[in-house]
A and B are shown apart, each in its own frame.
Chain A
Amino acid sequence: MKAWVFGDNVDTDAIAPGRYMKSAIEEIAKHCLESVSPSFASSVEKGDFVVGGRNFGAGSSREQAPEALKHLGVAVLVAQSFAGLFYRNAINLGLPALACAQAKRIRQGDLLKVDPLGGTIENLTTGETLECEPIPPFLMSIIRDGGLLPHLEKRLARTA
């Protein structure tokens, strides 16, 4: 599926604006990234990738930011680097976030194939393969369970 490319320091107020924070995720998602890319929320398709520059997700602890992206169907987040708090939130919601030093080689609309565990991105448009930092196995186990909540559910069921 295709890449939606953004710049450096995309912040959580752009991803999930504060004034919609009391609403349900369906409503917040409609305004996701609207200040940067007004057509993103209405045009992004299930399985697409969001590609950021440095420090993607800077700012707030609000997990509605990765939640909105997941709700819109984004399959994997790729960025040159992520803000630490946003990164933890994305993993905890079961949304893979892949740090890739060469993320800036990806252009808007490029077709990608992403392997979060192996840490590679195949750019089907350019034929390039980009190396990334693989997601550590213990975080991948949270993602595979669908996020920290189902992961805890499993853990509690085991100890019950």
Chain B
Amino acid sequence: MAQTLAQKLVARAAGREQVTPGEIVTCKVDLAMVHDSSGPRRLKPRLERLGAKVWDPSKVVVITDHYLPAYDDESRKIIQIARDWVKEAGVSAFYDAQGICHVVLPERGHLRPGMFAVGGDSHSPTGGAFATYMFGIGATEMLGVMVTGEIWLKVPHTIAMDFDGGLSPGVSAKDVMLFLIGRFGMDGGQYQAVEYRGPAIRALSMQERMTLCNMTAELGGQTGLIASDSVTEEFLKKKIEIWDSDPDAPLLAHHKFDAGELAPQVAAPHSPANTRAVGEFREKVDLAYIGACTGAKLDDLRMAASVLKGRKSKVRLLVAPASLRDQQAAEKEGTLGILLDAGAELLANSCGMCAGYGENLLPDGAVAISTTARNFKGRMGSASAQVYLASPYTVAASAVAGRIADPRELLA
């Protein structure tokens, strides 16, 4: 019987020829990723209570990104636990202050098509851009994986999001996701697999594909998947297997769109589903934030720079590049210089304000526009702050205008 990409990936991990959506299977985990907040500080005491060891330290990746830069005794302690634990547990894949886990993981070559992986963070579906079945789990479930190397899964149905044509200039993967979340809601993914396909998706870079899979979390899917192809191979710089859905595999839903018709999108407070086209907004903003795994990868910084080149931000503009390597690449090619010339303040390569961690939080009454994934009330600071979500293009254009603005006018 014809199988979807999701079914094929789950079947491989479950040691089966085929699987059927809805059945419960046990999968062997190829890779488990944790960060400082959900990882060692919660795993260590529980592993000790169980008197258990990590099932296979070579399959574990630890990345510090939440409590960086450490700013008080508690955050310093959390980071230190991570540094001590990797030695104790024999984990060699440890990336300390190198950037946000979802960006660092593929950047350092840990993902490849065909894998089955879990992450201790809700944006773990990002890995699905590499045709890896990857999803987020909580710390206790991660403990179960660390001890047994296995996890149960209800085999997902697949919802296909099929984009024909190509995105217009000034429109990006972030706009695609805000549009889909607005259209289908935060539970539109029904905790199933969402597969992005079609010529417009094939034309996207790996980091843009990562943005699609990343925000599958806000769409309510368990994972977001994209078939592997030459773009995947080029990014990973090694020969890969092609993993794709069979053309006639049954789908839960097949939604077709013309990518060329999509305008830049903005999600108003306090939900990523509260989305309309940029033209319907004129609100003044007093802060623009370019950060997070969703919105501050090298490609995101380039988008912002294409708008900000030769211009100044009218409002406070904060840039927290998603990884150190991406920041260094942006510096080398001049992208970072453009952002700094526009008045950007550079922040650490960590989750920071997006997750409401650290010292930079939105004050009472602040109105911000942000490249991040979530604008829940109070998430980025004060509960009276208003956060609009948009693409790096739109955030940059809004910084220049001091109000929400359509980037296509500045790119023309």
Contact = CB atoms under 8 A, between A and B. Distances in A.
Given A22-B37, A92-B141, A148-B143, 19 more contacts: A9-B271, A11-B379, A14-B378, A22-B67, A22-B74, A55-B186, A58-B220, A59-B217, A61-B120, A62-B38, A81-B187, A89-B138, A93-B140, A138-B24, A148-B141, A148-B144, A149-B46, A149-B49, A152-B50
Contacts of A118: none
Contacts of A138: 24, 152
B374 interface: yes
B236 to A, nearest CB: 26
Interface string B42-56: 000010011110000
Given A63-B138, A84-B222, A92-B140, A58 B37 contact: no
A59 B50 contact: no
Contacts of B357: 18-19, 21
B66 to A, nearest CB: 8
Nearest to B381: A19
Contacts of B377: 13-14, 35
16 contacts: A9-B186, A13-B378, A17-B356, A17-B378, A17-B379, A19-B357, A58-B187, A61-B120, A61-B122, A85-B135, A85-B222, A89-B137, A92-B141, A138-B152, A152-B143, A156-B147
A84 B194 CA distance: 14
B94 interface: no
A54 interface: yes
A61 B140 contact: no
B134 interface: no
B141 A88 contact: yes
B144 A35 contact: no
A85 B138 contact: yes
SS class, residues of chain B in contact with chain A: loop
Residue from the set A18, A35, A156 with the largest chain B CB neighbour count within 10 Å: A18
Given A22-B75, A152-B147, A55 B187 contact: yes
A89 B379 contact: no
Contact of B356 (A19, A23, A83): A19
Interface residues of A, number: 36
B139 interface: yes
Interface in A10-30: 11, 13-14, 17-19, 21-23
Contacts of A85: 122, 135-138, 191, 222
A9 to B, nearest CB: 5
Contacts of A60: 121-122, 355
Nearest to B221: A84
B78 interface: yes
Contact of B138 (A11, A35, A92): A92
A149 B50 contact: yes
B244 to A, nearest CB: 25
Interface of A: 9, 11, 13-14, 17-19, 21-23, 35, 54-55, 58-63, 81, 83-85, 87-89, 92-93, 136, 138, 147-149, 152-153, 156
Q: Which of A87, A89, A136 has the most chain B CB atoms inside 10 A of its CB?
A: A89
Interface in B100-150: 119-122, 124, 135-141, 143-144, 147-148
Given A11-B376, A21-B357, A54-B187, A61 B50 contact: no
A61 B74 contact: no
B319 to A, nearest CB: 21
A85 B138 CA distance: 7
A125 B320 CA distance: 53
Contacts of B217: 59
B37 A88 contact: no
Contacts of A61: 38, 119-122, 124, 136-138
B361 interface: yes
A21 B37 contact: yes
Interface string B33-44: 000011000000
Contacts of A59: 122, 217, 374, 376
Nearest to B373: A59
Contact of B378 (A35, A89, A153): A35
Interface in B191-208: 191
Contacts of A13: 356, 374, 376-379
Nearest to B361: A19
A89 B143 CA distance: 12
Interface string B137-176: 1111101100110001000000000000000000000000
A62 B355 CA distance: 11
B347 interface: no
A119 B135 CA distance: 28
